[in-house]
Structure 1
């Protein structure tokens, strides 16, 4: 695979000169952690379903990464080959990432909620050579789905299955044999290690283009963000990072997996969000920090209050993805005793605005923070001219942590000659430099921290024989931030109801989280003179409909 990361070379000299790119890899950081703290617990992983807990010291983690790295090389994985993982937050996720880093392979994390439609595109576009899946998770047969996809994916040579007893099991292929002791192991583990500018992570994000976009990151781009992120939050080697957000998202991968290694700290991961299990882990492992979307904070606060089990070690909770309600911040501070930090970011750049730990709590629910070191933000008008403080406009970003570009789609990179990325968000900035996201100029809905591919779902619904016009719009939800509503104008003489819409999308193998949760049927759509559907009017209509019962 050739990675067309065209946005990296022009930034290298200035980023190094300014000290903004660490110019180190995750291999350097893991090796340093082993040297400094060989017997310190590096990773604790819990499976919520059975309460199973696995712990690894830094020495054990590095040794297992070496074993799996050589095992992957025996499967034909080499430099720049893509290893896709559709895994929950299991210890194997971390080990595979570190193993790929040893041999110069690129990880492609895929959300466990994805089904055939999403996976067939991502695996094909990314040319994944190996796909690692659980045999089952949450009652779904991932192995069967993967094997059904493989015949139409010529680049996909092997499927590796966790918790299987077959010949393609993770255990049989990668961990049962002491691969790291083979005569050629040392050469395999050193000859192809990536440099800090090589692409090491490929993550897909939904947008308005009609297909997921493959975000390419190097270690330098991710580490540049992690260094400033940790500095703003005052995190160090004594911190224990709880991660229950999916590691297949940048939130989990960067801040739950990579950050603790950079800090020489400790990662605690939970595979399914069960608030009571999270409380148990925080108390047992002494978690000091976590990052997640607002629903996690809501659930954790409620559960701690109901159980009467305090979490005194949890010093800070960073929330992003949706505004945090003021009453929730106040309640969380009272119940958890935890500093709530609001933030904003994107897969393409990481988190680049957040409030300070010393800020008043009011900042957490009235702003999305101020820019961290190594990044710049501007609020501009449609002509690109900077607007006065307090005025709403397009949010553009220039940062050392910006991605290398979209895989095979450089025309979508949306970065100008001076390095400014159009975030697609609309915001305003106050006199102190704090921003507030006030909307989006791109058609994206964020449900519980998950971007909904609006264009793709609309395109699918247009294939329904009863649909003349369709638009998907957001409506507010106290827990998830936003949910999706489909507004449909049926063809003459045709009808459609909520159940038939859901069944149609399920038949298209769409992830359940992407299926609209409401349906409004109208004879006609509000449109401009040129025929463009006016979604703002549909959102107004939906506000009126919110008093109706959920369908």
Structure 2
């Protein structure tokens, strides 16, 4: 016989919890048309004394049976409505509410499971070292678990300081989209080769694509690579990614196998969205080949060009690579998705989450993944509005205070196009007219047709417009701003613009992928100031330092900057990013002169780049390919001034045996799948190179030849 203490240890009370019964009653009250039944679904607590192991086991079995019975009654109560003594299935609004709640709970469970799985993987493998380069564990920020694993340089002090000062607005692009979709549903927002799209149509497509991306596995933090021309599909996909917290990786359509392989290995995109072909090159086939090497790419979405749609009248989709899906497939996935908007909003990111990864060539010529957050991109747009759009009024009846009509011919895969050709008009409720192939004659016609007010591009764009025949015969009265960036505006070009475009203010600007537009002229500036590269935008600073690190004016030195517009870090990680910073200042790699008024003039570059028509040429990569040619012993590429493009690449080659010709070298680069815009356009054969004592080529000595040529002219 058991003692009293033994009996006390064996005593246990098992309650069929009244919370389940209360849940039944709460579910009853939520159902439309349902009267609350005072005694319906009530389960009274049961206390059982367990005096033996067998009795305890029997009680547990009965308890599980009772819980299952309560759950069954709860399910029945939520699935049916009593009406005049009979049970009927949910219909109409009640059924829709029920389906939305179920989808909402399903997405919550999926996202919670995914985050839990990733955290366990990180912790179980010893931390962030097990992740791809540039990734780190989930970080706690303001008490909320971040959705991303990107390793940024965003310290909590910087976030708090810039948010408290108002420099960071803490807003999302998606919130603006919702507003303009409701207020301006019938107004135009995008004009491209496919026609004109209204705000209402844009909102519907974004809604469908965001759900479609969720259906194919995209989650917060997933990288989605976009290599598309300036088509509406780029805008829709980018905003859909913003809505669900994915990271957009814009890529210019000119990039080919070599560049894309490096970018893909760094960024690890899960989904790639591209065109079937662009300017005669089959982008979709290229990505299908790359997909075989990049196992992390699980989905390839292909957008057919207008020419493909016309030729594919029977719909056989012969242009679609094996294993890829069409744009319409993605949209249909979203339209028939079980996710509703409430479920999609569960994925909405925070303003300091990484939302964009843009690759740029750095001092080594290798691509670097530049990361930006929603706040940083918002700052770039606000700075543009406060400077370039100063004194610019929207068209009468526009319905929004800054609903400007913008033109963009620079690719959306470049930071210029992505920020000021896409995000700017979406923020302001405006209308963007996009060209996927630059044509100055077409552009001046579009100005009068769509009443374009502002545009932006490199110096060659402006020079081409000024050379259009019978320019005075076009209606250019609404065109009031042109921001000229990528290279300083030559005085002859600016003087011609003042003469031929009296209604348009041509303004200079300078920036980087890491900073957006950081210095810019002002509409009221005189001619001499417009020949500079402008002064810093609000909440940002630039300075020029000498060899000792001291700030100087009216003397050439290294250009540094800091402020709210600077990027969140490189994909290669925090340690790599911090190499570009000196005591809180970012080293741009450019040489400049600053006057006493704060206006800078870019004098050159310390980094080994050629900027051809505003596009960075990765010099080292091209040089490495040239060295594979059997007739090339040593090769060096330097920038040569060019009247229209600003700069072109000139290859200096020390041959082995018979010297190769420029045509032979470019044919070789073509065979090696090097982007055409990166090819050198001039060739100089040398017997030997000027070298440093450590054996490095003195490229500044090679560039001096061009300076001597200009002096002779």
Shorter-chain TM-score category? Answer: over 0.9
State the SS of the aligned residue for 1:154.
coil
Distance 1:459 1:381 in 2: 33
Distance 1:463 1:10 in 2: 49
Measured after TM superposition, the shift of residue 8 of structure 1 is: 5.3
Q: Are the aligned partners of 2:447 and 2:475 in contact in 1 as well (CA < 8 Å)?
A: no
Measured after TM superposition, the shift of residue 419 of structure 1 is: 2.6
Q: Are the aligned partners of 2:365 and 2:617 in contact in 1 as well (CA < 8 Å)?
A: no
Q: 1:133 aligns with which of 274, 277, 300?
A: 274
Say which is worse superposed, 253-262 or 297-306, in terms of deviation: 297-306
Distance 2:343 2:498 in 1: 50
Asked if residue 500 in structure 1 is aligned to residue 664 in structure 2, the reply is: yes
Distance 2:635 2:670 in 1: 17
Please provide the CA RMSD for this pair: 2.0
State the SS of the aligned residue for 1:140.
coil
Distance 2:198 2:664 in 1: 52
Measured after TM superposition, the shift of residue 278 of structure 1 is: 1.1
Distance 1:41 1:304 in 2: 30
Distance 1:435 1:372 in 2: 12
Distance 1:130 1:97 in 2: 12
Asked if residue 110 in structure 1 is aligned to residue 266 in structure 2, the reply is: no
State the SS of the aligned residue for 1:246.
coil
Distance 1:400 1:454 in 2: 30
1:64 alignment partner in structure 2:
205
Distance 2:324 2:417 in 1: 27
> What does the per-residue CA deviation read over 1:140-185, in whole Å, with 9 as the maximum and x for residues that have no partner?
111111111111001111111111735844333223x273464423
Measured after TM superposition, the shift of residue 125 of structure 1 is: 1.4
> What does the per-residue CA deviation read over 1:335-376, in whole Å, with 9 as the maximum and x for residues that have no partner?
2221000011101011111111011133222x1111110101
Q: Are the aligned partners of 1:279 and 1:304 in contact in 2 as well (CA < 8 Å)?
A: no
Measured after TM superposition, the shift of residue 210 of structure 1 is: 4.3
Q: Which has the higher contact order (CA 8 A, sep 6+)?
A: 1
Measured after TM superposition, the shift of residue 224 of structure 1 is: 1.0
Distance 1:324 1:215 in 2: 27
Over 3 Å counting, the alpha-carbon distance change for 1:417 and 1:480 in structure 2 is closer
Distance 1:462 1:168 in 2: 37
1:461 alignment partner in structure 2:
626
Asked if residue 84 in structure 1 is aligned to residue 225 in structure 2, the reply is: yes
Structure 1, gaps ≥5 residues long: 48-52
Q: Are the aligned partners of 1:180 and 1:186 in contact in 2 as well (CA < 8 Å)?
A: no
Which one has the bigger helix percentage?
Answer: 2
1:533 alignment partner in structure 2:
697
2:185 alignment partner in structure 1:
38
2:105 alignment partner in structure 1:
none
> What does the per-residue CA deviation read over 1:105-148, in whole Å, with 9 as the maximum and x for residues that have no partner?
11111111111111111122110111111111101111111111
Asked if residue 143 in structure 1 is aligned to residue 284 in structure 2, the reply is: yes
Distance 1:262 1:321 in 2: 24
Say which is worse superposed, 493-502 or 15-24, in terms of deviation: 493-502
Distance 2:343 2:256 in 1: 34
1:27 alignment partner in structure 2:
174
Over 3 Å counting, the alpha-carbon distance change for 1:457 and 1:9 in structure 2 is farther
Q: How does 1:173-252 map to 2 (within 5 A)?
A: 173-175=329-331, 177=332, 179-180=334-335, 182-233=337-388, 234=390, 236-252=401-417
Asked if residue 364 in structure 1 is aligned to residue 511 in structure 2, the reply is: no
Q: 1:424 aligns with which of 562, 577, 589?
A: 589
Instruction: Say how many residue pairs are matched.
Output: 538
Measured after TM superposition, the shift of residue 281 of structure 1 is: 1.6
2:512 alignment partner in structure 1:
346
1:280 alignment partner in structure 2:
445
Distance 1:188 1:500 in 2: 58
Q: Are the aligned partners of 1:124 and 1:155 in contact in 2 as well (CA < 8 Å)?
A: no
Over 3 Å counting, the alpha-carbon distance change for 1:171 and 1:307 in structure 2 is farther
Measured after TM superposition, the shift of residue 188 of structure 1 is: 4.0
State the SS of the aligned residue for 2:665.
helix
1:50 alignment partner in structure 2:
none
Over 3 Å counting, the alpha-carbon distance change for 1:545 and 1:494 in structure 2 is farther
Say which is worse superposed, 329-338 or 349-358, in terms of deviation: 329-338
Q: Are the aligned partners of 2:215 and 2:333 in contact in 1 as well (CA < 8 Å)?
A: no
State the SS of the aligned residue for 1:128.
coil
Q: Are the aligned partners of 1:162 and 1:169 in contact in 2 as well (CA < 8 Å)?
A: no
Q: Are the aligned partners of 2:365 and 2:609 in contact in 1 as well (CA < 8 Å)?
A: no
Distance 1:243 1:8 in 2: 35
Say which is worse superposed, 536-545 or 237-246, in terms of deviation: 536-545
> What does the per-residue CA deviation read over 1:6-46, in whole Å, with 9 as the maximum and x for residues that have no partner?
2454410111111000101111121222244333222222x
State the SS of the aligned residue for 2:160.
helix
Over 3 Å counting, the alpha-carbon distance change for 1:490 and 1:4 in structure 2 is same
Distance 2:710 2:573 in 1: 39
Q: Are the aligned partners of 2:357 and 2:372 in contact in 1 as well (CA < 8 Å)?
A: yes
Structure 2, gaps ≥5 residues long: 1-134, 136-148, 309-316, 393-400
Say which is worse superposed, 206-215 or 297-306, in terms of deviation: 297-306
Q: Are the aligned partners of 2:228 and 2:413 in contact in 1 as well (CA < 8 Å)?
A: yes
Measured after TM superposition, the shift of residue 544 of structure 1 is: 5.5
Q: Are the aligned partners of 1:205 and 1:213 in contact in 2 as well (CA < 8 Å)?
A: yes
Distance 2:626 2:458 in 1: 29
Distance 1:59 1:22 in 2: 26
